[in-house]
Structure formats: structure tokens, C-alpha cells
């Protein structure tokens, strides 16, 4: 029987988010494929430094230690060829990462393999690949490849999510952008008992909950947080939606338009997912932050609205 990964949390990750490949990528951008290939092959014995997602990946893989069957599978999806990818696998081995599966596509879009691998999450430095993975139904986020890999606070895995257009659909955010805060508050109060539709990260949160269920409640190695600019009275619909989904969130922060960054630092987030560029830019200076290019905030005509939202309103 073929091996399947149905029971594991499957995270697909690009080489540029796992390791610091900015020098070699600059060679590719400046000189092209052949000089890039020569650069990588000449340096295949040189170990790569950790990238922005490296600390999270290491923590996730530690969940497999001492277990007969792994809880987490991390898969490398890379635009490198198998030849130039040898340096990446040498670095994986050096750092002691339990990554054994990979797809090297030699310049072709690697997002095509998220579905065959059954990925619950795809992290990449390529925004185009992320957008295509989202369209294919996989939770996906773009991480800035130049960001510094920060030392984790401790061994607990802390993952934070924005609400609207990430965990939930963007239906409520559309009301806010089109009709303003008062209409948004009134609509959410009226629909408080109507669960929101799921967003692109609902399935990933459910997969995390399966991992949490493998441990006693008080000893779970994963802690999740909802960090949203919603405030009362728009909080009730969110709480009732999670209850209807039977999904556990360990912490829920309703910030009423306050900057999320200090709260993410206090939570000790290993990664944070948000759909709005302004939130991502601010938070990425403190924690690893993935942009989720989904929903009304990422539609071309949303530029003026995005600027208005980032001005401090109680945007969801």
C-alpha cells in the first residue's frame, strides 16, 4: 500500500522561507539561471543560515520526537532543480531537520504539489505561488524572505490568526468597507447568532486542533490565538462562530482597532497570519508574519479603503 499523510499535519514550505537564500536569489535576479546554478553547486558544501520560518519548522518537527508515527510532516517545495537543491538538503541534514520529502521543479510553479501532498499549509516567499495555492483551496501565506529568523520564546508553538478573510470569510469586512463602521457594527449585532462562513485558514486551524487533541488539555504543545481589530459588539458573532465550528481557540484578543504588534509580542507568536498589508508590515518587525492575499482587502480597487482602514478605525 502507498504511504499516505492523512493523519499528519502537513506543512509545505519553500526553500527561501526555510533558509536564507537572498544572496543566491540576487545572483538569479541579476544574472539568470546558469550563473545561479553554478553559484549553488560551487557552494553546496556551505551550510545555509536559517530563514524566517526556520524556528517554526524546527518546533513543529520536535513534536515527532519519541513517536512511532509522526504528528507533523514538513515538505520542501522548491523552484530549484534537484542539482541545485543538493545544497538545501545538505543544510537540512546539518540542522537536524526531519524533512525527507521534496519537490524540486526547476523553475516551474511548485504550488501545484500542495494538493497531491495533502498540505494543510503552504509558506512561500513567492506571492504568486501563494495566491495560486489559496485558489486551489490550501491555506497559504507569503513570508518576507529577508526577515530575520528570531529565536523562539520557548518550546511551545504559538500561532496567531487574524479573523476576517483569514479564519473567516470576508463577508463582514465587505460591509465595513462599503458602508462604514456603524453599518458593520449593526450588521454584526443583527447576525450575532449566524455563524460566519469559513475563510482560507479554517482547515489549518482544524488540523492544529487534531494535534492538540493528542495531548492532555493542560499539556498541549500548541497554543493558538485570534488577534482581531474587532471589538464589542462585533465580538459575539466570532465567539458563536467558533463554537458552532467546534473549534478551540486558546486566546482571543478583541483590540477595537489598536495596533496588533505589541499584543503579538506579548503572546510570543511564532507566526501570525493577516490579510492586510499594513498589519503585516507592522507585525513583521516583531514576529514572523505571513500575508494572506485573500478577500476584499486584496482586490485592486481596495486601495483607498485599505488606506482608510489602516488609519486606526476599528477594522475587522
The catalytic residue positions are 162
Question: H-helix or E-strand containing 73?
Answer: strand 72-78
CA–CA distance, 255 with 235 (Å, rounded to integer): 10
CA–CA distance, 76 with 108 (Å, rounded to integer): 14
CA angle 281, 164, 58 (to 5 degrees): 55
Cα 248 to chain center, whole Å? 18
CB 150 within 8 A of CB 119: no
Cα 154 to chain center, whole Å? 20
CB 55 within 8 A of CB 288: yes
CA–CA distance, 243 with 39 (Å, rounded to integer): 53
Burial of 79 (0-12, 13-18, 19+ CB in 10 A): buried
Beta-carbon contacts of residue 271 (< 8 Å; ≥ 6 apart): 53, 56, 159, 160, 287, 288, 289, 290
Running DSSP on this structure, what letter comes out for residue 152? P
Beta bridge partners of 105: none
Amino acid at each position: 500500500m502507498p504511504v499516505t499523510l492523512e493523519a499528519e499535519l502537513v506543512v509545505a514550505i519553500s526553500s527561501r522561507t526555510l533558509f536564507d537564500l537572498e544572496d543566491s536569489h540576487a545572483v538569479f535576479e541579476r544574472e539568470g539561471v546558469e550563473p545561479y546554478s553554478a553559484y549553488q553547486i560551487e557552494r553546496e558544501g556551505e551550510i545555509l543560515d536559517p530563514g524566517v520560518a526556520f524556528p517554526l519548522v524546527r518546533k513543529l518537527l520536535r513534536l515527532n520526537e519519541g513517536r512511532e508515527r509522526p504528528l507533523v510532516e514538513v515538505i520542501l517545495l522548491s523552484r530549484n532543480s534537484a542539482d541545485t537543491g543538493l545544497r538545501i538538503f545538505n543544510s537540512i541534514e546539518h540542522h537536524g531537520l526531519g524533512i525527507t520529502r521534496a519537490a524540486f521543479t526547476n523553475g516551474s510553479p511548485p504550488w501545484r504539489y500542495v494538493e497531491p501532498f495533502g498540505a494543510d499549509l503552504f509558506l512561500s516567499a513567492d506571492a504568486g505561488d501563494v495566491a495560486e495555492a489559496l485558489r486551489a483551496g490550501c491555506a497559504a501565506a507569503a513570508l518576507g524572505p529577508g526577515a530575520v529568523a528570531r529565536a523562539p520564546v520557548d518550546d511551545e508553538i504559538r500561532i496567531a490568526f487574524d479573523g476576517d478573510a483569514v479564519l473567516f470569510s470576508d463577508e463582514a469586512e465587505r460591509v465595513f468597507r462599503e458602508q462604514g463602521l456603524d453599518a458593520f457594527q449593526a450588521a454584526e449585532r443583527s447576525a450575532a447568532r449566524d455563524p460566519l462562513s469559513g475563510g482560507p485558514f479554517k482547515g489549518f486551524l482544524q488540523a492544529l486542533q487534531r494535534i492538540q487533541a493528542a495531548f492532555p488539555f493542560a499539556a498541549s504543545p500548541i497554543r493558538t490565538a485570534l488577534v482581531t481589530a474587532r471589538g464589542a459588539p462585533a465580538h459575539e458573532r466570532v465567539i458563536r462562530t467558533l463554537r458552532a465550528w467546534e473549534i478551540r481557540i486558546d486566546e482571543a484578543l478583541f483590540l477595537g482597532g489598536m495596533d496588533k504588534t505589541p499584543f503579538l509580542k506579548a503572546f510570543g507568536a511564532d507566526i501570525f497570519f493577516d490579510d492586510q498589508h499594513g498589519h503585516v508590515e507592522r507585525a513583521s518587525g516583531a514576529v514572523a508574519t505571513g500575508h494572506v492575499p485573500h478577500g476584499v482587502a486584496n482586490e485592486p480597487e481596495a486601495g483607498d479603503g485599505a488606506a482608510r482602514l489602516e488609519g486606526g478605525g476599528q477594522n475587522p
